[in-house]
């Protein structure tokens, strides 16, 4: 099964529905397309992504656990990118090989699914797409869902290799804040970027990094779908040059990936996510903050 004719980073619910039908009707039993639910919620939201997957999911969907199984365990920061070894081990358990086309969705439409896309990219797997509109769009289109406990998955073999250009740490970013070849773009809402409101996490300073630009992730979305490509292009052209490396930050490394996905769709290919994001930066007095 080939990647879709439309941009490979993003697929419609119509495309996915047809692809799943084609796979179900195929004469061989190899699954070259696997659907992952990468749902995650903000701190303080009383919802369980794993339980909601059991209650309602796209047929055959598996849980891509960005907060636990697919997160670095030796840190106090939330859902940090795990090692390549841990990523490969957990993805193999999901029945995914390096030949698998992965389609990722979330239950909010377009939120944490982009994080899953970025994680696969950072681990060297390019056969990955995000479902535009996520589970809400699937349901709105009238397509069937399933519920109940997940069936046992036959493990596969997935090899991961970290692509260092896709991720940066705080010290590395701090050295690039005055570099004109780099544009640091913050996905948080404007009031948080400007420091006019308190951060939702306790002990985190308000404001932004010196020279950073603000592009709230919500400005790229409309009801869980990406806005038109021309509008995305205009947004990025207004705050960066095509020749610049784009480094994305947000509250904790989730919505920064929405910006990375959007930028990739309009041809910006030198993309990096600051994984610790403001949860790390705002808590450490060593790193400069302006309002």
d(CA 175, CA 145): 48
> Residue 27 has what pLDDT?
56
Residue partners of 18: CB distance under 8 A and separation at least 6 = none
Q: What's the CA gap between 173 and 217, in Å, rounded?
A: 20
How many angstroms separate the CA atoms of 273 and 81, rounded?
Answer: 10
**Model pTM score:** 0.95
- The structure tokens listed for 52 are 């909601």
58 DSSP β-pair partners: 145
For residues 262 and 92, give the distance between their C-alpha atoms in angstroms, rounded to a whole number: 28
In the chain, the domains with their CATH numbers are 10-162 (3.40.250.10), 165-281 (3.40.250.10)
Q: In DSSP terms, which residues pair with 225 in a beta bridge?
A: 222
Please list the active-site residues. Answer: 250
Predicted confidence at residue 248, as pLDDT, reads 98
- C-alpha of 222 from chain center: 17
pLDDT value for 6: 42
Exposure string for 223-240, b = 16+ CB within 10 A, e = fewer: ebbbeeeeebbebbeeeb
In three state form, how does the secondary structure of the chain look?
CCCCCCCCCEECHHHHHHHHHHHHHCCCCCCCEEEEECCCCCCCCCCCHHHHHHHCEECCCEECCCCCCCCCCCCCCCCCCCCHHHHHHHHHHCCCCCCCEEEEECCCCCCCHHHHHHHHHHCCCCCEEEECCHHHHHHHCCCCEECCCCCCCCCCCCCCCCCHHHEECHHHHHCCCCCCCEEEEECCCHHHHHCCCCCCCCCCCCCECCCCEECCHHHHEECCEECCHHHHHHHHHCCCCCCCEEEEECCCCCHHHHHHHHHHHCCCCCEEEECCHHHHHCCCCCCCCEC
CB 30 within 8 A of CB 57: no
Give mean pLDDT in consecutive 10-residue pieces for the chain, a chain of 291 residues.
61 95 73 92 79 94 96 95 98 96 96 98 96 98 96 95 98 98 98 96 95 98 97 98 98 97 96 98 97 94
């Amino acid at each position: 099964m080939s990647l879709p004719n439309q941009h490979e980073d993003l697929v419609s619910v119509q495309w996915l529905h047809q692809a799943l039908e084609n796979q179900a009707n195929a004469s061989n039993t190899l699954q070259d397309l696997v659907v992952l639910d990468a749902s995650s919620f903000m701190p303080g939201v009383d919802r369980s992504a794993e339980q909601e997957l059991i209650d309602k999911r796209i047929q055959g969907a598996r849980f891509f656990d960005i907060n636990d199984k697919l997160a670095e365990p030796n840190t106090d920061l939330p859902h940090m990118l795990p090692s390549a070894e841990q990523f490969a081990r957990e993805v193999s358990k999901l029945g995914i090989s390096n030949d698998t086309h992965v389609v990722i969705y979330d239950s909010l439409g377009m939120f944490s699914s982009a994080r899953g896309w970025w994680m696969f990219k950072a681990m060297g797997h390019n056969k990955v797409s995000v479902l535009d509109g996520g589970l809400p769009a699937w349901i709105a289109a009238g397509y069937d869902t399933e519920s109940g406990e997940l069936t046992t998955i036959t493990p596969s073999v997935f090899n991961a290799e970290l692509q260092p250009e896709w991720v940066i740490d705080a010290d590395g970013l701090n050295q690039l804040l005055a570099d004109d070849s780099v544009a640091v773009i913050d996905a948080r809402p404007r009031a948080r970027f400007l420091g006019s409101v308190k951060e939702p996490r306790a002990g985190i300073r308000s404001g932004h990094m010196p020279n950073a630009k603000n592009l709230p992730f919500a400005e790229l979305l409309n009801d869980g779908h990406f806005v038109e490509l021309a509008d995305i292009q205009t947004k990025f052209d207004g705050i960066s040059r095509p020749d610049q490396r784009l480094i994305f930050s947000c509250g904790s490394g989730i919505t920064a990936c929405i910006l990375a996905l959007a930028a990739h769709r309009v041809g910006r290919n030198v993309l990096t996510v600051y994984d610790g994001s403001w949860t790390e930066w705002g808590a450490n007095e060593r790193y400069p903050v302006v309002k």
